[in-house]
Structure 1
């Protein structure tokens, strides 16, 4: 069911939600959180679809904030709130409200969102694109227990990781980090088996891929070894190789679906390592709303010390030490105090295109 409200208020939107629920015969529903999506018209459809799919696992009230401040002084002076309410099959197991903020109201989105939050329920804010430099200090970010960004949507994804490190606050996370969860789980399981000392590592992936950077930083942080970053043709993150005296431990995913795990003294085997869609990533992030200390440790490990080394990037620990028994693939594991790595940024795609045009 859909209800369109033009030039409305938060109070009328709340009344519209109650009316919609009664009309479809479900006046009460066990929604567990409020998900606020801050986006634009161009990205709204994909974001809403991903959130609606994720709401089948986490019934939510989804508030989609679309700012339309206007270009002319006359448009900016005309403050207006238009809303579209979706309840039922069009909104997964929860309910969705599209909020279009016109004119000066676009600068005060928190005043519109606050009355629409579910009482006594966690709040998560997601920026699919154009995330603020400091999500925790953003007016909407202050309302949330969890703040989700996506470095891969930035003009320069590697530089975006540096921004995330500088502004990190408990509750921040990034979908570039969520994408490497299966890789971290697989590598941690491999390292739990008997092996000799890890002496070095190589991480391969597409250029400008922040997930590859984060996985390299995680390995350098947890294993305290030199980690080399290599560029591949993709898709996305393609391979990890850990060097030991007995031979290499490698996890290679060339096609984006199946990976081959090779370990010294064991037969090679194929494992499922499919690239996940945004709905799966959001669903994973909504499962736990506590601070992700492993993400914090990894993103802060050496991002501030990025140095240029041409087409490759490397994260290096100054004093290599024996690998820990468990590499720590989940939330909340403690991290050792590492030495800072060195890594090199490549120019952004737009910068590279500009140089090529010259």
Structure 2
């Protein structure tokens, strides 16, 4: 059942939800959370489809927030709220409210969403694309106990990981991290079977794939060994190699669906390791609403290491003019270490000579 509301308010939307449930004969529905999706018109259909599929495992009220930004100065001033209410077969196992915000209302989306949240139920906010840098500081993000992004959709995934680490708050997570859950499970199980000390590791996958980067960060953080990141044609993450003194543990997935696990002293075995769609990833994240400490530790450890290594690969600055070099060499602030004490006495006579 669908109900279209034009130039409406949050109270009218709530009244439409109650009336729709009565009309289809389901006055009470056991929904476990409110899922707020912040997206645009281009990505709204795919995001809503994934959320509806995930609702079969987690019945929820889905609130889709679409901000319609107009280029016309008059339209930007005119605040208007249009809504679409879906209940029953058109809304998975819960109920859906699609909000389209116009004009100045775009900057006050939280005031529209707040009255539509389920009482005494957790709130999860999901940005399929275009997430803000500070998730917890965003007005809509502040409403949620859990905040989900996907750095794979960023134009620069590595920069996106840096932003997630810099502004991390308990409850933040990323679908790029969720994609490597089966890999982490298989690698942890392999090390549980054989008590081998890992000396180094290598992660192979597509260039600038955030899931590959996060898996490498996790291995480096947990094993405290150097991890080499190599590139392949994909799809996605293709191989992980753990080097030990008794032989290598290799988990290789060349086709994106079936992987091969090789361990020292054991026959090779086939492992189902298919690439999952967004609905499966979202359903996994909705199973837990507590902070993911492992994700936090891996993200901050890996990004900090990247920040330390970045200056070594930075381009060499252009040489300074001769006069500037001389001035810099005479300045005590530019001298460090044992040479600093020798440089300071030489600077004082120069000042006296210039004063005379």
- Sort the TM-score into its range (normalised by shorter chain): 0.7 to 0.9
Q: Deviations over 1:47-71 (max 9, x none)?
A: 0000000000000000000001311
Going from structure 1 to structure 2, the CA distance change for 1:23 and 1:343 (only over 3 Å counts) comes to farther
- 1:151-170 equivalences under 5 Å are 151-170=151-170
Larger of the two Rg values belongs to structure: 2
Instruction: Write the deviation string for residues 36-56 of structure 1: whole angstroms up to 9, x where unpaired.
Output: 000000000000000000000
- Residue 266 of structure 2 corresponds to 266
Q: Can you give the 5+ residue segments of structure 1 that lack an aligned partner in the other structure?
A: 308-340, 347-358
- Report what 1:84 is aligned to: 84
What does residue range 1-358 of structure 1 map to in structure 2 within 5 Å?
1-306=1-306, 342=309
Q: CA deviation at 1:3?
A: 0.3
Maintained 8 Å contact 1:302/1:343: no
Provide the rounded CA distance (Å) in 2 between the counterparts of 1:266 and 1:54: 38
Distance 1:344 1:125 in 2: 36
Q: Deviations over 1:131-172 (max 9, x none)?
A: 000000000111100000100000100110011000000000
- The 1:344/1:276 distance shift into structure 2, 3 A limit, reads farther
| CA spacing shift, 1:345–1:202, aligned 2, 3 Å | farther
1:15 partner SS: helix
Aligned mates of 1:188, 1:345 — CA distance in 2: 33
Give me the whole-angstrom Cα distance separating, in 2, the residues matched to 1:243 and 1:195.
Answer: 13
Higher relative contact order (CA 8 A, sep 6+): 1
Alignment partners' CA distance in 2, 1:123 and 1:265: 48
- Residues 1:266 and 1:89: Cα distance change in structure 2 (over 3 Å): same
Contact 1:126–1:149 (8 Å) recurs in 2: yes
* SS across alignment from 1:137: coil
1:90 Cα offset (Å): 1.5
Partners in 2 of 1:345 and 1:278 — Cα distance? Answer: 37
Check the 8 A contact 1:302/1:342 in 2, yes or no. no
8 Å Cα contact 1:8/1:81 also seen in 2: yes
The TM-score with structure 1 as length reference comes to: 0.86
Structure 1 residues 164 and 292: alpha-carbon distance in aligned structure 2, compared to 1, 3 A threshold: same
Question: Which structure 2 residue ranges, 5 or more long, are not aligned?
Answer: 314-356
1:109/1:140 contact within 8 Å kept: yes
Number of aligned residues: 313
User: What's the offset of the Cα at 1:239?
Assistant: 0.5
State the distance in 2 between where 1:12 and 1:70 align. 25
* Rounded Cα–Cα distance in structure 1 between residues aligned with 2:93 and 2:108: 29
1:195: how far off? 3.5
Q: Hey, which bits of structure 1, 4+ residues long, moved more than 3 A?
A: 341-346
Partner Cα distance (2:28, 2:244) in 1: 58
State the distance in 1 between where 2:206 and 2:302 align.
20
TM-align CA RMSD:
1.4
Instruction: Note if contact 1:306-1:345 (Cα within 8 Å) is conserved in structure 2.
Output: no
Between the aligned partners of 1:124 and 1:56, the Cα distance in structure 2 is 16
